[in-house]
Amino acid sequence: MKAFINSVGLQAPGLEGWQDSAAILRGERPYQFQPLSPYSPAFLPANERRRTTDTIRLGLRSAQDTLGAYLGEMPASIPTLFACVDGDTEISAKMTAAILADEPMVSPIHFHNSVHNAPAGYWMIGQKNRAPSSSISVGEYQLANSFVEAITQLSEGWEALLLVMYDLPIDPIIETYQPDMHAFGVGFLLSLNQNEHTLAELNLQVNQQACPSPSPCKWFGANQSAQVLPLLKGLARGEAGEQICALSPALSLRLHWTPIA
């Protein structure tokens, strides 16, 4: 399985924007935690913009940073794949608390924003994009399965595909489970053919070999999306490299990238 990476988006505390983060990823500047700046998805109508949550905004800003310079010259319809392990736990917490009342009053806006595909839905609405969109969750196997789903779908014959992976700390109401992590959102614009924007060629290879669970990432803790940092560092440095990630308890996926000058 092979694809070309034409654009990258990055939205994480201390790594806000792919262009602005490249020097940190190359190791030329030290990483420093800095909360993400406020963001509002200007491409949505005002009434829908107001309804967005932290989860929706992280998905949307990651998608927007990925397409950034491209918006306008992209085909109107490209498939999108949004991957997030936990989904919108802030809204889950509000709804599961609301239903404790004898006569529960769940906010209709919370409810329709609670679907795992709300960020993808808002993105497609904002872009007037009628191509397929999917929203997945694969826990510790998310990075590998997201790339497999993205590139196998791209091979159906689409010109390009947008892959967005984003995870953020879960709502404190689920207080028995609080993984130590910071928010992290990343996006890739992938295509089957090389073009003038291409940054790198990406090859995927499935191996019948278990891959040990990755240790938490130094900057973003147990954030599954942040497991992609080795690839991002390689792209920022313009160096070929590879990363092995778990596809299942028995399979691993080798991501190998080669920069295209």
Partner 1 sequence: MVTALDITASTLVSALGHGKQAHLAAIQQQRSGLRPQVTDLDTKLSAYFGAVSDLASVQLPEGLAHFDCRNHRLAWAALQADAFQVAVTNAASHYGSHRIGLALGTSTSGILATEEVLAYREAHGRFAENYDYTATHRMNALTDFCASALAITGPRLTISTACSSSAKVFASAARWFAHDLVDAVVVGGVDSLCLTTIHGFNALGLVSRGITRPLDAERDGINIGEAGGFMLLERAKPEQLGVCLMGYGESSDAYHISSPQPEGEGAAEAMRQALARAGIAPSDIDYINLHGTGTPSNDLAESKAIHSVFGEHLPAHSSTKGFTGHTLGAAGITEAVLVELALLNHLLLPNLNLQQVDSALQLNPVKQTQAQALTWALSNSFGFGGNNASLVFALKEKR
Whose CA is closest to 229, among 239, 217, 237? 217
Q: Which stretch binds partner 1 (CB under 8 A): 24-32, 63-71, 127-135, 161-169?
A: 127-135
Residues 6+ apart with CB under 8 A from 260: 4, 194, 198, 199, 200, 201
When asked if residue 118 is in the footprint of partner 1 (CB under 8 A), the reply is: yes
Q: Which stretch binds partner 1 (CB under 8 A): 24-32, 60-68, 168-176, 191-199?
A: 168-176
d(CA 237, CA 247): 26
Number of residues that bind partner 1 (CB under 8 A): 69
Using CB under 8 A, which of 161, 165, 247, 255 touches partner 1? 247
When asked if residue 148 is in the footprint of partner 1 (CB under 8 A), the reply is: yes
d(CA 166, CA 184): 6
When asked if residue 198 is in the footprint of partner 1 (CB under 8 A), the reply is: no
When asked if residue 16 is in the footprint of partner 1 (CB under 8 A), the reply is: no
| Identity of residue 236 | A
Q: Which is nearer to partner 1, 10 or 247 (CB)?
A: 247
Using CB under 8 A, which of 85, 160, 199, 217 touches partner 1? 85
Q: Which residue is associated with the tokens 């839905």?
A: 121
C-alpha torsion angle, residues 19, 63, 93, 44 (rounded to 10): 120
By the 8 A CB rule, do 171 and 92 touch?
yes
Using CB under 8 A, which of 177, 213, 215, 261 touches partner 1? 177
d(CA 177, CA 142): 19
Residues 6+ apart with CB under 8 A from 62: 9, 10, 11, 164, 165, 166, 185, 186, 187
Using CB under 8 A, which of 41, 59, 121, 187 touches partner 1? 121
Using CB under 8 A, which of 133, 191, 225, 243 touches partner 1? 133
By the 8 A CB rule, do 92 and 145 touch?
no
When asked if residue 203 is in the footprint of partner 1 (CB under 8 A), the reply is: no
Interacting residues with partner 1 (CB under 8 A): 1, 48, 79, 84-87, 92, 95-100, 102-108, 110-118, 120-122, 124-125, 127-139, 141-142, 145, 148-149, 152-153, 155-156, 173-177, 206, 208, 247-251
